[in-house]
Structure 1
Amino acid sequence: MLPMDPTKKISFQRLISEGDLVIVYERHDHMKAVKVCCGSVLQNRFGVFQHTDWIGKPFGSKVLSNKGGFVYLLAPTPELWTLVLSHRTQILYIVDISFVISYLEIVPGCLILESGTGSGSLTTSLARAVAPYGHVYTFDFHEQRAALAREDFEKTGLSSLITVEVRDIQGGGFPENFCGLADSVFLDLPQPWLAIPSAGKMLKQDGVLCSFSPCIEQVQRSCESLRTNFTDIRTFEVLLRSYEVQEGRRECTGDDEGDPLGSLPCKRKQCSSGRSNGKEKSDVHTVMVRPCSEARGHTGYLTFARLKCL
């Protein structure tokens, strides 16, 4: 095994210091990224938090405000960064990202080509997947967007694993110096079929390509282009349904027949006054589970293909 390069080691088992990026966690749907600076403060509905009080604490710490309110200081993992980053473009979320990394067979040491960079949500997770020996080369035709992505990767400590370049992959293809070197290629482009021939040249034998497209018409044209040099072409739509879990109370009459939950232990019941149809009523503490009312639906289609062996 090659010796580990300390400049590429990703570890959050350390103490917070000035200049670090932390994710301030209020609740699962309310977080923000904050750079720690001596003398600075964070104000929210829980009070005023002094950055100086954060320095020296380990990531994951619970810190108090001047009013006694609290937040948690979390490490900027790719999963959390995806939830707080600035949306310069539509982004991929964890449900798609995890599927992509798995089906592209990405492991530490891989060389990955990506186009386009966008807001850098996927790029961040790719970098962690290839660390500490691999590298992600990501391309975007928009110069300002590429510059902002570089800044974000500096903030999250991943710049040694990611190279951002300005290039029109649809028009000019990938740089020729990557021919036959890439383990995987990921495309998030309006017309991915224009970049597929170039992507095929970049891949190693048996390498895997993935194309993300929001519309099925894009998938159809991409698959037509893939047939020339690729095999095992498959398209997926990954849908996630999350549930809310809450403790609640419900009234019952003591007759559990027909109750889909079955009979509940007596020690979990609290009797209340009154009877219903001659039966004693009671309030039952129980855990209620139901689908979230605001579930994220279709994001896009993921098309995978493997380069044909010569």
Structure 2
Amino acid sequence: MLIEEGSLVLYYFNSDKKWLIRAEKEKKLHTHLGIIDVGASVGLEYGSSVYTNKDKRIFLLPPTTFDLVMKSQRTTQIVYPKDYGYIAARTGLRNGFQVLEIGTGSAALSTFLASIVMPNGHIHTFDINEDFMSIAKKNLEKSGMIPYVTQRKYEPESIGLLRDIDLVIIDLGDPWQYLEIVHPVMKSGASVVCICPTMNQLENLATSFFRGGFVDVDCVEIFIRKIEAREGKTRPSMRMIGHTTYLGFARKVLK
């Protein structure tokens, strides 16, 4: 696949030095590795490479959802990609799902969800902070997911207008306060996932699940450890992403 004017390209030197940029013919990127002639990549094939003026080889890669999320503009803590796979598997997320998200933040998770439910599904995401909503819109536009996401300012009345929701994501400090609001709009058996930074919040959430028409409760924390694989001296990385969040899962049943 050829890189066209305006295509998103991941300019990759190594795992710590990579840049996500739109290819434009007159653009140049100044880095400590030298100047990358971004314009020279237009017309080349993804997987090919260019050289900086310091003779450093930069590979041209098509960005994945992981790249889009990790390189997105953000002013809030995001749910990390290490949690995405378990969320998708645990909830059965797939094309066609109608997803309700409360707490858009920077739209990192919205981007991932949309990439799975597209083209027949949709994300209905709500937030109260207009600055966050503006940044989220820019990130969704950059990722190309904006057609599959509707942003709204949070109001309980707006939630009540939705129907047959397949999955609910709540990323707020007090998610248990919203369970009674989302329960009526969910399909029976549908999943809710809550993002909890602390165990105190997770405890309150689990208690509310058991009292509020939800079963199949699952509270987890996901860790990922990279391995430095080199001939004759492979070992775990000395650094890793530690705690990011706790995840609380449950499924709706009829009260």
TM-score, scaled relative to structure 2 = 0.93
Superposed CA offset, 1:177-220 (max 9, x none): 213x2100011101101111112112111101011101111111
1:78-157 map, 5 Å: 78-157=65-144
Aligned partner of residue 122 in structure 1, secondary structure? helix
| Number of equivalent positions | 254
2:53 is paired with a residue of what secondary structure?
coil
* CA distance, structure 1, for counterparts of residue 249 and residue 50 of structure 2: 45
Structure 2 residue ranges without an equivalent (≥5): none
Equivalent position of 2:44 in the other structure? 57
In structure 2, the CA distance between the partners of 1:306 and 1:51, relative to structure 1 (3 Å rule), is same
Shift of 1:52: 2.2
Contact 2:170 2:194 in 1 (8 A): yes
Percent identical among aligned pairs is 30
Structure 2 CA distance, aligned partners of 1:157 and 1:226? 35
Q: Is the contact between residue 8 and residue 20 of structure 2 (CA under 8 Å) also seen in structure 1?
A: yes
Q: CA RMSD in A?
A: 1.7
- Greater percentage in helix: 2
Aligned-partner Cα distance in 1 for 2:157–2:104: 15
Cα separation, 1, equivalents of 2:105 and 2:221: 21
Are positions 1:70 and 2:57 aligned together? yes
Partner-residue secondary structure (3-state), 2:113: helix
- The answer on whether the counterparts of 2:73 and 2:139 sit within 8 Å (CA) in structure 1 is no
Q: Do residues 290 (structure 1) and 235 (structure 2) align?
A: yes
Structure 2 counterpart of 1:125, one-letter code: F
Aligned residue for 2:11? 24
Partner Cα distance (1:78, 1:100) in 2:
15
- Off by >4 Å, runs of 4+ in structure 1: none
- Give the deviation of 1:158 after TM superposition: 1.1
Structure with the greater alpha carbon radius of gyration = 1
Matched position secondary structure for 2:219: strand
TM-score normalised by the chain length of structure 1: 0.77
For 2:217 and 2:158, the matched residues in 1 are separated by: 21
Matched residue type, 1:156? S
Q: Which runs of 5+ in 1 are unaligned?
A: 1-13, 248-286
Cα 1:182–1:72, aligned 2, differ >3 Å: closer, same or farther? same
1:135/1:162 contact within 8 Å kept: yes
2:114–2:145 CA contact under 8 A, matched in 1: yes
The C-alpha deviation readout for 1:150-174, integer Å capped at 9, x for no partner, is 1111111111111122215xxx375
